[in-house]
Amino acid sequence: MERPLTRNIKPNADPLWLTEYEKAGGYESVRKALRTMAPPDIQKLVTDSTLRGRGGAGFPTGKKWSFVPMGPDAPRPKYLVVNADEMEPGTFKDRLLLEGDPHQMIESMIVSAYAIQADVGYIFLRMEYGIAAARLRKAIGEARAKGYLGRNLLGSDFSFDIYLHTSAGRYICGEETALLNALEGKRAIPRAKPPFPQVVGLWGKPTIVQNVETLCNVPHIITHGVEWYRHLSRGKDGGTKIYGVSGNVKRPGAWELPMGTSIREILEEHADGMRDGFAFRGLLPGGASTAMLVEEHLDLPMDFESIPQGGSRMGTGTMILLDDQTCPVGFTQNLEHFFAQESCGWCTPCWEGLSWTERILQSLEDGQGRMEDIDVLAMHTKLLGPGRTFCALAPGAMDPLQSLLKYCRADFERHIHERRCPWGNGRDGADGARIWPVSSSMIVPTR
Amino acid sequence: MAGIIVDDRPYQVDERENLLQACLSLGFNLPYFCWHPALGSVGACRQCAVKQFRDERDREGRLVMACMTSAADGTRISIEDPEAKTFRASVIEWMMANHPHDCPVCDEGGECHLQDMTVMTGHTYRRYRFTKRTFRNQNLGPFITHEMNRCIQCYRCVRLYRNYAGGRDFDAFGSRNHVYFGRHEDGTLENEFSGNLIEVCPTGVFDDKTLMPHYTRKWDLQTAPSVCAHCSLGCNTIAGERYGTLRRILNRYHSEVNGYFLCDRGRFGYGFVNNERRIRRPIFRSNRHDQTIPMDKDMILRELGSLLADKPSRIIGIGSPRASLESNFALRELVGPERFSLGLSARDAGLNSLILDILRRGPASSASIHDVEQADAVLVLGEDPVNTAPRLALAVRQSVRQQPMQLVDKLDIPRWHDAAVREATHAQPGPLFIAAPHSSWFADIATETYHGAPDDLAALGFAVAHELDHASPTATPSPTIRSLAERIAAALRQAARPVILSGTACKSEAVIQSAANVAWALCKIGTPAKLCYCLPESNSLGLAILGGKNLEDAFSVVKNGAADTVLILENDLYRRADTLSVDTFLKTASKVIILDHLEHDTTAKADVLLPAGTFAESDGTLVNSEGRAQRFYQVFPVEGDIQESWRWIRDLAVASEHPGQSNMAAWNRLDDVVAALANAIPAFQRLAEVAPPETFRIVGQKVPRQTHRFTGRTAMHAPLIMHEPKPVEDADSPLAFSMEGYLGQPPSPLITHYWSPRWNSVQALNKFQSDVGGPLRHEMPGVRLIESSDKRTVTYFSEAPQLFQIRDDGWLILPWYQIFGSEELSARASVMAERIPEPALMLHPEDAATLRFKADEQAEFMLDNKSHRVPVKLNAAVPRGTAALTIVSGFTDAVLPTWSPLIRVPEP
Amino acid sequence: MIENSGLSTYNYLMMLSDIEKAEIEEELSHYPDKQAACVEALKVVQRHRGWVSDESLKSVAALLGMTCDELDGVATFYNLIFRKPVGRHVILLCDSISCWTCGCDAMRKSLQARLGISMGETTLDGRFTLLPIVCLGACDRAPTMMVDDDLHGNLTTEKVDRVLEQYP
Ligand SMILES: Cc1cc2nc3c(=O)[nH]c(=O)nc-3n(C[C@H](O)[C@H](O)[C@H](O)COP(=O)(O)O)c2cc1C
Ligand code: SF4
Ligand code: FES
């Protein structure tokens, strides 16, 4: 089984630095692209490869690139931004790639930038990924020294440089348009689309934002070709995918597997099944913002096409398990707490609806719930759907809520009837409101 | 136009609009918060949701935000769709979750957009049962209150303050449902347009602090349409009164003039009306300073009548650029045109009439504020609009967005899509060139800024005109000026709607002429450039059209004994000429009679003082700097003897049996004066068209100044008189001092307040526009009295001045006007005390270094034959060889610019 | 108004050390405009001083040509820019979903008991500040926490104790 993305990554070892990386075939794709391919050729290759975004939405990457204005009249500079903000709970795949093989990230950016003729690249990295930051910095330095970055790469007339931007928290920064505002040093509020960033992006210029994992596929597609790439997969979408499992399983972790590997296989063969004493109740297939799947869905292949058959999305492909020892209401409260805290505060349904949802769930956990509460929760799952809020954060928050209400409704009602959390391990609300020492002395919000 | 279908019925709308604007224009009650016609759409509040359908077969539809969707041809939507209605009600439910239940004590209550929208969406029952978030409020200075708990996070305030008005000391802090709108720390909001927060915020977060000491609900204010008295732009206002005090000013929409916004001077300067130094009774001084005898009206009229009757030819009248046309005309009629002075020095009168002449001559016509907003290139030449005509500065700020709109159109971004427009045009403001002695307001958006002495600015103007059309004369400019002129000319040549903005701030004819040359040169090469001149006062241009003698003439007439009685209309002569001349003049005249509202240096020397009504106590017409005549209306009836100046003058005419040319004895109401004026002076022929005549009625009724919810009508006078007094008759206008009258929408000059069923806030204005954001229904926009004669021939001014020469024996002291403090009336609103800066002299740091001045050291200089001491401030915007004196606290521009040595006063 | 640039007029720049200034300059070179570097500039100050005081904020604002209002608007948006003093070491305890199902509540209770503080507080000796954090992207090692720049996974109450000892 081929593992192109993680082939250089060994657990608990330093990544390959430049010489070794080159020895292992690194930067081949850059040579090939700059010397033998025109930008449209690469764009076509990526389109034909059926590569889809690994950041959650699964948008076809080649198609996204096709919106970038090309040719001599195109606005300059153009930007390529790597979304390395990985903050969706349960998601830990980009960290692996960034820490494990920083040069692969840089190589991916160079060839992708060449394909869209970008002039500058930014890696938007979440602050907590300190090791990744240090390794990326070192790798960028090495690459620059070797002429892979800077003016006239490898003597071609293509110039490109990369800067690392480290952020300071807030999940919303991962939303691609909020990310642009964050990069511009503004409050990270999402932008309305259209216009799309491909046309009006960073500082008003054409910009492509792409997930770490997505981009890491590109060099391999260039080096090995479309046929090879598509055959890596077991399903319709090409390539491999880094799947992850967390929760009370025996061997939580992340593995690069053929796209379309079934949930059951990932769960049982790679994560070794449930931890002793824990039984399976459900799972969120791709991060906190995906709807829960249950037993009956376990044989679905994990890919963009199949997971929706179970009423969910593949999302980031990193699963979160719900077991029988965990209170499903507490589980939901934890998720909604996250989303409510991370709302940017721009659109009403999100900033107020999520907070209300969270507080109702907390009150259920506290034994204060009422039957009407379930209606209010259900109402929110409808009212915070796609298109009703400004960006996808709130709809993402409603997917798990809606599915847990569906699959675990009896548990919700038990909380109300018994006036307590039957698990007793529900959230105790001690950190119900996240306390940040962030306000300046003048602005003291209290609750 | 585009055909759209709303709830299965077809309508025609403007396809450049978004669906929200289109639906509101069609008269639908579609709720909204974050959208504002002047601010555009951002889609934050989600209140305006409607259902959109692909075609007639689509029964599912999907929710869209009306404000974020184009009104494209063929669009099908439903407002009534149950899902859309539920969603809209939920948005209110969310907002109300944290909103305090303080309507009864909230200052916004009764004129609150959030209240209106809550009722409109039908949200009544509260399901949210958790505690609410609370915030600390800030002290934002003397103008604006802050009550953050009422915030619904619509972001309008930051968008207005920062994006629209360019303020940078206010922002959004925090995130999620804890977003705080305020300052980084307590302190006065710096921006000159902060008052608009009051109207833009849909709830009671920001309210008028000046209203609070005499707080009155909107429905209990007696309100009348007015015109701002505090600069030459003539912004339209609504002034509100209760219990005989003026209580607040709101914006009154005018599509060509002020649009939705006022400046803080105009909004908060009204307090002079309530000033304790108002002249409220006629005062007679037997021996000038000694004894002050209040007299009743009849007695004083008898007294003065016989005085005037004795010697009609020995009286001169001194008019005023801050008094109405009618009052000035009345005075001119009383004393005769030969003996009527404008009340302005020859220099100042000359500047005004030069501007009048330029605007009349053409070919460039005068620009309205709206024209400035729409301009795609602006050259500011020798003017400092933010301090002399503030609302215009706000318009200039919008103009830089015009040229980048080409890119926006090319990218297919609808112009209402505010955030996208700003992102697409990121940091690329259109052409704006500032050439002024000192102005920092546009530093962030100006293409180039040039600070120069007036002569250099004029030289620049001449050079630009010469660049554009070589037939236009120029002196030899310096290389700097020449190359700047080339760049300016290149930018102006590219523009389709350029505006040249200048005015009297430099007190320089050459500057004004050079601006004309630029505009004319553009016209000559086929670009329809417009000219926008700022004048000093609210009726400066009106007075120039009326015409009269200079103050110097009046001085000499009295000096050589040809006259000895002086009647001064609303004018403090010490602001007009040097102290010695005014002193001599007042001393020489045997009788000085003054009509004014406030005591000032000149009234101190009067023999007789007559209490004249302020703008709030009179009706009248003002001509703004654009040449537009507009009517203001009395807000409330006055107790006692205060009356309009023209009525006093008529009374004097009658008492002296000297009724003048146009039979003043027959002047019973304002329309009579207007008719006489229109008759007497051809330029005012159309004056009667400015506003409906007194006889105007709608279904037989007058328009009420009081709302139909006016309370306490029977009780408000109870402590004084037991029965309800009959409302005072208004002889001058179709308005009534009453709550009875026509309740619908009157012609625009008569709008006393914005209200429409279900719309109690200022947003009811939508219902007064047939196209939201466009002109008012039944709009009577005033009459533009000056239209340039559309001659193709251009006669340039030919005298380009010599370049400014730095002297080694002195400094050219130039006036530096201040938005708060320089204008006579607003400076006397008590609330301004906190905003009026201390007098100071600005020096270029290098000049200061030469003089060994350090910041804040005292400088001594000569002005008006006296020596003065003020602290020095260093400012790189001040041209070398000049010093700028702030025109506040007793300093006037009467004898500025002037040369004076500067002496450093050592610390004691 | 005489001074209406909206910009801070103080000479707060003096406050920043040469190292801080150099580091901020380096960040500035990555962007076409100064504001873009503001978050990183704040973090430079925070790295050196532990938190961003009003004075530091003013200095950074002056350096970047922003007003304090603009900079604080951005600063308060982020949860990892500290606008109040924090302890010598900041503990960020993940409370997101995977860590929660794997027992982070127990870790929190044990931390609180051991340090004698609640979430959001700083120990009296100024040694630790305890804060919740969203998913640290190490769910395979849940429950997790970060102390300063170090990630600690597979926590147990005993391990927590041992970890704390490493931070004097
Ligand atoms: C609230 C929110 C948070 C997101 N966070 C991330 C993130 O941390 N990393 C990421 O790659 N994509 C994230 N996304 C998805 C991005 O918006 C975007 O779709 C993605 O970066 C595009 O890259 P891709 O096509 O390569 O997946 C987030 C989306 C939303 C709505
Ligand atoms: S303060 Fe007013 S204008 Fe600003 S966001 Fe809140 S409700 Fe809207
Ligand atoms: S008015 Fe349309 S979203 Fe606010």
Tens of pLDDT, residues C68-100 = 999 999 999 999 999 989 999 999 999 999 999
> C80: exposed, middle or buried (C-beta count within 10 Å: 0-12, 13-18, 19+)?
buried
Domain-embedded: residue A444: no
Residues 88-117 of chain B whose Cβ lies under 8 A from any Cβ of chain A: 90-91, 94-95, 97-98
Does residue B849 carry a pLDDT above 50? yes
Mean pLDDT across B633-661: 90
Measured CA to CA, the distance from residue B432 to residue B450 in angstroms comes to 11
What band does A447 get if pLDDT is binned at 50, 70 and 90? very low
Residues A49 and A19 in one domain: yes
Mean pLDDT across A83-88: 97
Min Cα–Cα distance to chain C from B819, Å: 7
Domain-embedded: residue C81: no
The reported pLDDT for the residue numbered A434 is 44
Please state the three-class secondary structure of A281-305 as a single string.
Answer: EEEEECECCCCCECHHHCCCECCCC
Residues A116 and A192 in one domain: yes
- DSSP alpha helices (H): ranges in B242-292? 264-268
CATH number of domain containing A8: 3.40.50.11540
Measured CA to CA, the distance from residue B634 to residue B644 in angstroms comes to 9
Residue B34 CA, closest ligand 3 atom number:
4
Domain-embedded: residue A103: yes
- Report angle CA A224, A227, A230 to the nearest 5 degrees: 100
Residues C33 and C95 in one domain: no
B112 pocket-lining for ligand 2 (C-beta < 6 Å) = no
Ligand 3 centre from B81 Cα, in Å?
Answer: 17
In this structure, what token pair is assigned to residue C135?
Answer: 């998913």
The reported pLDDT for the residue numbered B639 is 81
Query: What is the reported pTM?
Result: 0.96
The reported pLDDT for the residue numbered B312 is 78
Does residue C9 carry a pLDDT above 50? no
Q: Which of A199, A340, A440 sits opposite B176 (nearest CB)?
A: A340
Residue A342 CA, closest ligand 1 atom number:
1
Interchain CB contact of A379 with B (< 8 Å): yes
Which bound ligand lies closest to the C-alpha atom of B65?
3
Interchain CB contact of B133 with A (< 8 Å): yes
Min Cα–Cα distance to chain B from A306, Å: 25
- Report angle CA B560, B564, B570 to the nearest 5 degrees: 115
Tens of pLDDT, residues B237-274 = 999 999 999 999 999 999 999 999 999 999 999 999 99
Domain-embedded: residue C69: yes
Q: How far is CA A386 from CA A394, B46, B177, in A?
A: 8, 12, 20
Sheet containing B783-784, strands listed edge to edge, beginning at the edge strand earlier in sequence: B620-623, B628-632, B783-784
Residues A180 and A83 in one domain: yes
Question: Residue A414 phi/psi, 5° resolution?
Answer: -60, -40
Residues of chain B with pLDDT > 90: what percent? 89
Mean pLDDT: which of A440-444, B119-123, B639-643 is highest? B119-123
Residues C158 and C93 in one domain: yes
In this structure, what token pair is assigned to residue C137?
Answer: 């992207």
Residue A61 CA, closest ligand 1 atom number:
25
In this structure, what token pair is assigned to residue C50?
Answer: 């532990």
Question: Can you name the residues that pair with B284 across neighbouring β-strands?
Answer: B293, B608
Domain-embedded: residue C25: yes
Owner of token pair 């002299």: B841
Mean pLDDT across B450-459: 96
What band does B475 get if pLDDT is binned at 50, 70 and 90? confident
**Nearest-CA neighbor of A415 among A327, A321, A291?**
A327
Measured CA to CA, the distance from residue B15 to residue B746 in angstroms comes to 29
Owner of token pair 């997790």: C144
Domain-embedded: residue A222: yes
Tens of pLDDT, residues B393-425 = 999 999 999 999 999 999 999 999 999 999 999
Please tell me which residue of chain B has the smallest CA distance to A345: B176
In this structure, what token pair is assigned to residue B429?
Answer: 């403001």
Residues C71 and C38 in one domain: yes
Are C74 and A185 an interchain contact pair (Cβ–Cβ within 8 Å)? yes
Residues 140-179 of chain A whose Cβ lies under 8 A from any Cβ of chain B: 170
Pocket lined around ligand 1, Cβ cut-off 6 Å: A 53-57, 59, 83, 85-88, 171-172, 174-176, 209-211, 214, 391-393, 396
* Residue that is last in its domain, among A306, A323, A340: A323
The reported pLDDT for the residue numbered C3 is 38
Does residue B606 carry a pLDDT above 50? yes
End-to-end CA distance of chain B: 74
The reported pLDDT for the residue numbered B790 is 67
B157 pocket-lining for ligand 2 (C-beta < 6 Å) = yes
Residues C54 and C99 in one domain: no
The reported pLDDT for the residue numbered A432 is 40
Ligand 2 centre from B46 Cα, in Å?
Answer: 14
Q: Which of C4, C5, C69 sits opposite B184 (nearest CB)?
A: C69
Mean pLDDT across A241-268: 97
Are A443 and B179 an interchain contact pair (Cβ–Cβ within 8 Å)? no
DSSP B698: B
Residues A24 and A170 in one domain: yes
| Contact yes or no for A59/A53 (Cβ under 8 A) | yes
Question: Residue A336 phi/psi, 5° resolution?
Answer: -70, -30
Element (H, E) at B565: strand B565-569
Structural domain count of chain C: 2
Residue nearest (by alpha carbon) to ligand 1 atom 13 = A174
Residues C62 and C100 in one domain: no
Question: Which residues of chain C have a CB within 8 Å of the CB of A337?
Answer: 95
Structural domain for C17, as ranges: 9-75
Owner of token pair 């004026």: B677
Please tell me which residue of chain B has the smallest CA distance to A393: B176
Residues C55 and C106 in one domain: no
What band does B285 get if pLDDT is binned at 50, 70 and 90? confident
What band does A431 get if pLDDT is binned at 50, 70 and 90? very low
Residues C64 and C95 in one domain: no
Question: Which residues of chain A have a CB within 8 Å of the CB of B135?
Answer: 443-446
Does residue B687 carry a pLDDT above 90? yes
The reported pLDDT for the residue numbered C2 is 33
Structural domain for A112, as ranges: 4-231
Does residue B658 carry a pLDDT above 80? no
* Residue that is last in its domain, among C75, C107, C123: C75
Domain-embedded: residue A439: no
Reading phi first (left if > 0) and then psi (alpha if -120 to 50, else beta), residue B591 is in beta
Structural domain count of chain A: 3
Interchain CB contact of B169 with C (< 8 Å): yes
Which bound ligand lies closest to the C-alpha atom of B66?
3
Ligand 2 centre from A389 Cα, in Å?
Answer: 19
DSSP per-residue codes, B386-448: HHHSHHHHHHHHHHTTTTTHHHHHHTT--TTBHHHHHHHTTT----EEEEESS--TTTTT-SE
The reported pLDDT for the residue numbered A36 is 96
Residues A86 and A154 in one domain: yes
Are B86 and A383 an interchain contact pair (Cβ–Cβ within 8 Å)? yes
Tens of pLDDT, residues A108-152 = 999 999 999 999 999 999 999 999 999 999 999 999 999 999 999
- Polymer length in residues for chain A: 447
Tens of pLDDT, residues C125-163 = 999 999 999 999 999 999 999 999 999 999 999 999 999
Question: Residue C101 phi/psi, 5° resolution?
Answer: -65, -25
Residues C114 and C63 in one domain: no
Domain-embedded: residue C4: no
Domain-embedded: residue A35: yes
Are B183 and C69 an interchain contact pair (Cβ–Cβ within 8 Å)? yes
B45 pocket-lining for ligand 2 (C-beta < 6 Å) = no
Half-sphere exposure of B64 (CA within 13 A, CB side): 22
- Report angle CA A275, A281, A286 to the nearest 5 degrees: 90
In this structure, what token pair is assigned to residue A327?
Answer: 């209170």
Domain-embedded: residue C84: no
Strands B628-632 and B783-784 come out as antiparallel
Question: Which residues of chain B have a CB within 8 Å of the CB of A376?
Answer: 127
The reported pLDDT for the residue numbered B307 is 87
Residues A287 and A385 in one domain: no
How many other C-beta atoms can be found within 10 angstroms of the C-beta atom of residue B101?
A: 10
Question: Residue C7 phi/psi, 5° resolution?
Answer: -100, 155
Mean pLDDT across B714-731: 85
Q: How far is CA B367 from CA B392, B394, B534, B585, in A?
A: 11, 15, 11, 39
Does residue A221 carry a pLDDT above 50? yes
The reported pLDDT for the residue numbered B660 is 67
Residues A344 and A422 in one domain: yes
Residues A222 and A259 in one domain: no
Tens of pLDDT, residues B175-192 = 999 999 999 999 999 999
The reported pLDDT for the residue numbered A433 is 43
SS3 B226: strand
Mean pLDDT across B72-80: 97
Residues C161 and C99 in one domain: yes
Residues C156 and C102 in one domain: yes
B36 pocket-lining for ligand 3 (C-beta < 6 Å) = no
What band does B198 get if pLDDT is binned at 50, 70 and 90? very high
- ipTM reported for the complex surpasses 0.90: yes
Domain-embedded: residue C102: yes
Residues A294 and A172 in one domain: no
| Contact yes or no for B823/B835 (Cβ under 8 A) | no
Domain-embedded: residue C133: yes
Domain-embedded: residue A446: no
CATH number of domain containing C127: 3.40.30.10
Average pLDDT, chain B: 95
Residues C93 and C68 in one domain: no
Does residue B809 carry a pLDDT above 60? yes
Give the residue, out of B36, B203, B763, with the most ligand 2 atoms within 8 A of its beta carbon, to mutate for a pocket test: B203
Please state the three-class secondary structure of B788-848 as a single string.
Answer: CCCCCCCCCCCCCCCCCCCCCCCEEEEEECCCCCCCCCHHHCHHHHHCCCCCCEEECHHHH
> B890: exposed, middle or buried (C-beta count within 10 Å: 0-12, 13-18, 19+)?
exposed
**Nearest-CA neighbor of A81 among A51, A121, A127, A46?**
A121
B152 pocket-lining for ligand 3 (C-beta < 6 Å) = no
Domain-embedded: residue C3: no
Measured CA to CA, the distance from residue B261 to residue B394 in angstroms comes to 9
SS3 B3: strand
Does residue B287 carry a pLDDT above 70? no
Question: Which residues of chain B have a CB within 8 Å of the CB of A340?
Answer: 176-177
Question: Residue A416 phi/psi, 5° resolution?
Answer: -75, -45
Residues A114 and A139 in one domain: yes
Measured CA to CA, the distance from residue C7 to residue A108 in angstroms comes to 42
Q: How far is CA B84 from CA A388, B24, B78, B383, in A?
A: 10, 16, 8, 51
The reported pLDDT for the residue numbered B291 is 73
Does residue B540 carry a pLDDT above 90? yes
Residue nearest (by alpha carbon) to ligand 1 atom 29 = A175
Question: Which residues of chain A have a CB within 8 Å of the CB of B408?
Answer: none
B155 pocket-lining for ligand 2 (C-beta < 6 Å) = yes
* Residue that is last in its domain, among A179, A213, A231: A231
Residues A414 and A305 in one domain: no
Are A439 and C76 an interchain contact pair (Cβ–Cβ within 8 Å)? yes
Does residue B40 carry a pLDDT above 80? yes
Residues C21 and C55 in one domain: yes
CATH number of domain containing C60: 1.10.10
SS3 A61: helix
Does residue B715 carry a pLDDT above 90? no
Question: Residue B783 phi/psi, 5° resolution?
Answer: -120, 125
B155 pocket-lining for ligand 3 (C-beta < 6 Å) = no
* Residue that is last in its domain, among C75, C101, C130: C75
Q: How far is CA B597 from CA A69, A240, B342, B357, B645, in A?
A: 66, 85, 18, 32, 10
Domain-embedded: residue A445: no
SS3 B469: coil
Residues A313 and A332 in one domain: no
- Report angle CA C4, C8, C11 to the nearest 5 degrees: 130
What band does B536 get if pLDDT is binned at 50, 70 and 90? very high
Domain-embedded: residue A376: yes
Mean pLDDT across B697-704: 97
Mean pLDDT across A165-189: 97
